[in-house]
A and B are shown apart, each in its own frame.
Chain A
């Protein structure tokens, strides 16, 4: 049996007195579409940033494909592509295509392989016409798509997306959903954080609901609805987060 895509064991992260993530343990299987839900400040971004090494855990362990995310960070990073919530693009002096080529370079991909890959992703994400544009010349939606293309440049096994559709209009959101589903159909693992419960219900096979850094519920959306006797995932979420009871 293969090791999980991501295994988080008793993760705890404190910022001074604030406990951002508190004793979080969960496993994400290979090929799974997994959602990380919770209100602002629930610990979603801290959790995924710990997985990719941008945040140092206070205690606990993270394994990616069985590799220790702290000790084997270089091998772990090869497996992961991440699109951050903030639009982080090295766009001061690089255009859209160059951003993708540099990204490939950081992952050790030689230019002869990187160039066709960048062109393929620019086409696929509808950015070919904008390949020579600087980041400031791109619309919000185009920047979001470029972020996703950047995360996919090295063809990672695991895609981590922090609020990928935040601020996206309906059309862009549907486009992004289709792209993510297509990526998932290739057998890749997706870890998604989102505020949109409809998005989680539509895309994710399992979700975890975090509140104040602690795991409040874990399971398939339908299973959570059933076990909480609710018709909508949103009601389950509100019950867990607000402690509302009918």
Chain B
């Protein structure tokens, strides 16, 4: 257990010592989204699904923060350790492959939740949020962060260069997030070519909608559908990351 906790501590210290690069910019970035989409444009958009647009958009923006930061931390940390060679420190220690993978994933989860919490605090300065299902909300955020930290772990193992992480971020994560119902509901884009089918096919649409319901209140069925999808995503990504560690994918020659 000491070995696992030491590696987890390393992962946490890594992003906390570099908070000006790892915590502050993503938080500020999402706050800017809040100001622009929530305050500036939101006032002109009126109500969406029966709530002011600023309230509608906030849960999605919190979720974006959790997703991005949970993904980035393991992806960069793992690739950096591979790049610099110090991954060998963990691999020649008595830590099991599962312990190494879980410590790296958990580091990502904590960064995702920390940035998510900071963004949530900022959101409370701009609007009221009812927090309809606080326990489910936390479980939801935790499950999302675990899933995307698992994905980050897979990308950190897969990539052969720094650009690999950015490529996944730009061509996979950004489209998923932007077309995932953060800024609009599926109902708002009914009949809009390209956007409607892409949004309807995107699993993040249902995850975002479910998360929104835990914050704003609403359909329990949507909450549970989204949570189910999140848990499935988490199980697949974390399971795949554990398997890749076990077989030594891009870790052992």
Please state if B94 and A53 are interface contacts (CB–CB under 8 Å).
no
Give the interface centre of A55, A86, A105, A106 by most chain B CB atoms within 10 Å: A106
**In the complex, are the beta carbons of A77 and B94 less than 8 A apart?**
yes
| Nearest Cβ on chain B to A228's Cβ, whole angstroms | 33
Q: Cβ of A103 and Cβ of B5 under 8 Å apart?
A: no
From A56, A102, A109, A110, give the contact of B10 (CB < 8 A).
Answer: A102
Closest Cβ–Cβ distance, residue A68 to chain B (whole Å): 15
Q: Are B89 and A88 within 8 A (Cβ)?
A: yes
**In the assembled complex, which residues on chain A have CB atoms less than 8 Å from the CB atom of B248?**
56
Q: Is the CB of A74 within 8 A of B86?
A: no
Chain B CB within 8 A of A75 CB: yes
> Which residue of chain A has its CB nearest to the CB of B95?
A106
Question: Does B252 reach chain A (CB closer than 8 Å)?
Answer: yes
Could you say which of A89-97, A117-125, A190-198, A214-222 contacts chain B?
A89-97
User: Shortest distance in angstroms between A178's beta carbon and chain B's nearest beta carbon?
Assistant: 25
Chain A 30-54 near chain B by CB (<8 Å), digits 1 or 0? 0000000000000000100100111
Q: Does B92 contact A (CB under 8 A)?
A: yes
**Residue pair B85, A77 in contact (C-beta under 8 Å):** no
Known: A53-B92, A108-B94. A102 touches B6 (CB 8 A): yes
A90→B88 CA distance, assembly (Å): 10
A149 CB-CB contact with B under 8 Å = no
Known contacts A93-B13, A93-B17, A106-B6; A54 and B88 CB within 8 A of each other: yes
- A93-B14 in contact (CB<8A): yes
- How many A residues have CB within 8 A of the partner chain? 29
Asked if A80 is an interface residue, CB under 8 A from chain B, the answer is yes
Q: Which of B13, B84, B92 lies in contact with A82, CB distance below 8 A?
A: B92
Instruction: Report A-chain residues with C-beta under 8 Å of the C-beta of B252.
Output: 53-56
Q: Given that A102-B6, A106-B6, A109-B2 are contacting pairs, would A55 and B94 also be in contact in the complex, using a CB cutoff of 8 Å?
A: no
Shortest CB distance B189–A (Å): 44
Contact A110 B6 (CB under 8 A): no
Does B90 make an interface contact (CB < 8 A)?
A: yes
With A and B bound together, what is the CA distance between A81 and B80 in angstroms? 23
Asked if residues A93 and B96 are in contact (CB atoms below 8 Å), the reply is no
Which of A53, A108, A110 gathers most chain B CB within 10 Å?
A108
Q: B91 in the interface, Cβ–Cβ < 8 Å?
A: yes
Q: Does A12 contact B (CB under 8 A)?
A: no
Cα A74 to Cα B98 in complex, Å, equals: 12
Number of contacts between A and B (CB, 8 Å)? 76
- With A105-B6, A106-B3 in contact, do A55 and B90 touch (Cβ < 8 Å)? no
Contact B80 A92 (CB under 8 A): yes
B7 within 8 A of A: yes
Which partner residue on chain A sits nearest B85 by CB separation?
A88
**Chain A residues with CB below 8 A from B93, complex form:** 77, 103, 106-107
Kindly supply a per-residue 1/0 record for chain B positions 213-233, scoring 1 wherever the CB is within 8 Å of any chain A CB and 0 otherwise.
Answer: 000000000000000000000
Q: Is the CB of A74 within 8 A of B92?
A: no
Taking a contact as CB atoms under 8 Å apart, the answer to whether A90 and B96 are in contact is no
Residue of A nearest to B7 (CB): A106
CA distance A149 to B191 in the complex (A): 67
With A88-B88, A88-B89, A108-B2 already in contact, the answer to whether A93 and B18 are too (CB < 8 A) is yes
B90 touches A92 (CB 8 A): no
Residues 62-98 of chain A, each 1 if its beta carbon lies under 8 Å from chain B, else 0: 0000000000001101101010101011101100000
Does B194 sit at the interface, judged by CB under 8 A? no
Pick the residue among B1, B5, B9, B89 that contacts A90 (CB under 8 A).
B89
Given contacts A56-B252, A93-B14, A102-B6, contact A75 B86 (CB under 8 A): no
CA distance A89 to B84 in the complex (A): 8
Q: Is B172 positioned at the interface, with any CB of A under 8 Å from its CB?
A: no
Asked if A55 contacts B253 (CB within 8 A), the reply is yes
Q: Residues of A with Cβ closer than 8 Å to B?
A: 15, 46, 49, 52-56, 74-75, 77-78, 80, 82, 84, 86, 88-90, 92-93, 102-103, 105-110
Instruction: Give the 10 A-B CB pairs with smallest separation, nearest first.
Output: A105-B6, A106-B93, A90-B86, A88-B85, A74-B94, A108-B2, A93-B17, A55-B253, A52-B92, A77-B94
Chain B positions within 8 Å of A, measured between CB atoms, are 1-3, 5-7, 9-10, 13-14, 17-18, 80-81, 84-86, 88-96, 248, 252-253
Chain A to chain B contacts (Cβ below 8 Å), 21 pairs:
A15-B253, A53-B92, A53-B252, A54-B88, A55-B253, A56-B252, A75-B94, A77-B92, A90-B81, A92-B14, A93-B13, A93-B14, A102-B89, A105-B7, A105-B9, A106-B94, A107-B3, A107-B93, A107-B94, A108-B1, A108-B2
